[in-house]
Amino acid sequence: MGEVSCPKATIVVPVYNSARSIQRCVDSLLAQSERSIQVVCVNDGSTDDSLNVLRRIAQADDRVLVIDQENAGVSCARNAGIDAAEGETVFFVDADDYIDAQTIERVLHAMESADAEAAVFGGVCEPADAAPKRVQQLMSPKAGIFGARDPQLLFHSNAQPYACRAAFSRELLNREGIRFAPGLALGEDVVFQFAAYALARKTVVMPDKFYHYVMESESATHEFNSVEARAKKLDAHMRMLEEVLEDWAAYGLLDLCPGELITWFLDLIVFDLARLDADDFHRVAARVNMDLTTFLGTEWADMPAKGAVRRVAHKLVTATSGVTMADATLFYLSTRGLKACLERFI
């Protein structure tokens, strides 16, 4: 049995109706070459046999702690795990997924060598052909070491989204009060990472693909992306932006890189904007303009560096004409290049 009094790492696993996959997930954690770990499994009101499976696992290995709570969503489950964490470094693994046996050892070594408070690593999607190219790209971070408040880490290193392929000093999370935002249907990990990466004194990015992201239709992210209506997706992205803006206001980060923040957000929604009818466009434009004006000022549409981005931004301010598919295409050409733009349409 492993020692849990002073573990080097805590791995938080939110569990909801994952009886079929949780054994494989936890087995991959207990098989880590780094034995000094704590595994916190938070059963989030599962209605299947997940809780019984977890209890059997915990009886067999005292490094596993099971928390049982009423269903409150993945953010609350992860927060409960953070609050119960005893390890110096906190990792997150979803119940559908698993990690390579050397993951914890190698990430901890990289963090110690770089004197870092956060780490990002890569992952693979299973099955590989189920993942869009963009997801595969995002799971392939670019190696580097970054200081606090570095826009390159936030926007250009494939370091977000997916909090499950990142690790954070527990001292950082508690010192800055960083937790997941409850109630978000999409992007809770992005909000968390935007705070943690900006506030960590140093972050090490590893290209190693340790994480295995299993593309199950039952998982919250995949189900949302495949069946939810465009309007609901836009609303979820808006709520994510609002959480980021509120966090950055609280942490004094709004002057860090507002132009890049605006560009990043518009990149998420520009093609959905181009498909809205006039009434829906006016509604979304009013909300975007109100939020960004409140936090960044009335000149927010002039802050992005690229003209194609500013064009879309000004259409949201004036709301006299909608964003066209040509606008969206020029936006992509400007921010991602020709190859990414062609991949979007071919």
Confidence at 345, pLDDT banded by 50, 70, 90: low
- Range in 65-79, 82-96, 98-112, 141-155 with the lowest mean pLDDT: 141-155
- Residue 70's CB: how many other CB atoms inside 10 A? 8
Q: Which residue has the higher pLDDT, 155 or 91?
A: 91
Instruction: Provide the β-strand partners of residue 213.
Output: 125
Q: Is the pLDDT of residue 2 over 80?
A: no
Predicted TM-score of the model (pTM)? 0.89
Cα gap 233→325, rounded to integer Å: 18
Q: Is the pLDDT of residue 341 over 80?
A: no
Helix-then-strand count for the chain, H and E: 15, 9
Q: How many CB atoms lie within 10 A of CB 213?
A: 25
Proportion of the chain above pLDDT 70, given as a percent: 92
Q: Side chain identity at 230, as an amino acid letter? A: R
Q: Which residues contact 20 (CB under 8 A, 6 or more apart)?
A: none
Is the pLDDT at 1 greater than 50? The verdict is no
Reported as a pLDDT band with limits 50, 70 and 90, residue 232 is: confident
CA separation for the pair 222, 86 (Å, rounded): 31
Q: Where are the alpha helices (DSSP H) in 123-277?
A: 133-138, 151-156, 170-176, 188-199, 220-227, 230-250, 258-273
| Residues present in the chain in total | 346
pLDDT for residue 159: 84
Q: Which residue, among 173, 23, 181, has the nearest Cα to 87 in the 3D structure? A: 173
Query: Cβ contacts of residue 109 below 8 Å, gap of 6+?
Result: none
Sign of CA dihedral 285, 222, 194, 339: negative
Token pair 């099955």 is at which residue?
127
Q: Measured in whole angstroms, how far is the alpha carbon of residue 300 from the centre of its chain?
A: 25
pLDDT value at 344 more than 60: no
- Strands (E) located in the chain: 9-15, 37-44, 64-69, 89-92, 98-99, 118-126, 144-147, 166-169, 202-214
Percent above pLDDT 90 for the chain: 74
Identify the structural domains of the chain with CATH numbers, from first to last. 9-221 (3.90.550.10), 257-345 (no CATH)
Residue range 57-71: average pLDDT? 97
Backbone φ and ψ of 213, nearest 5°: -95, 105
| Mean pLDDT value across residues 192-211 | 95
- The pLDDT of 1-29, averaged and rounded, is 88
Q: CA-CA distance, 236 to 230, in Å (whole number)?
A: 10
- pLDDT of 213 over the 70 cut: yes
Give the span between the Cα atoms of 294 and 217, in whole angstroms: 38
Q: What are the pLDDT digits (tens) for 292-333?
A: 999 999 999 999 999 999 999 999 999 888 899 999 999 989
Mean pLDDT of 168-192: 93
Rounded Cα distance between 146 and 93, Å, is 24
Residue of 106, 108, 81, 109 lying closest to 94 (CA atoms):
81
* Most confident by average pLDDT, 9-23, 186-200, 222-236, 268-282: 9-23
Of 122, 154, 126, 118, the C-alpha closest to 138 is: 122
pLDDT at res. 339? 61
- Distance (Å, whole) CA 273 – CA 34: 47
* pLDDT for residue 158 is more than 50: yes
pLDDT, greater one: 143 or 1: 143
Whole-number average pLDDT of the chain:
90
> Where is pLDDT greater, at 204 or 2?
204
Answer yes or no: are the C-beta atoms of 53 and 23 closer than 8 Å.
yes
Neighbouring C-beta atoms of residue 295, cutoff 10 Å: 18
The whole-number pLDDT of residue 217 equals 53
- CB environment 225-234: b (16+ within 10 A), e (fewer): eeeeeeeebb
**The pLDDT value given to residue 131:** 72
User: Tens digit of pLDDT for each residue in 99-146?
Assistant: 999 999 999 999 999 999 999 999 998 887 777 777 878 888 889 999
Burial of residue 75 (number of CB atoms within 10 Å: 0-12, 13-18, 19+): buried
Question: What is the DSSP secondary structure assignment for residue 37, as one 8-state letter?
Answer: E
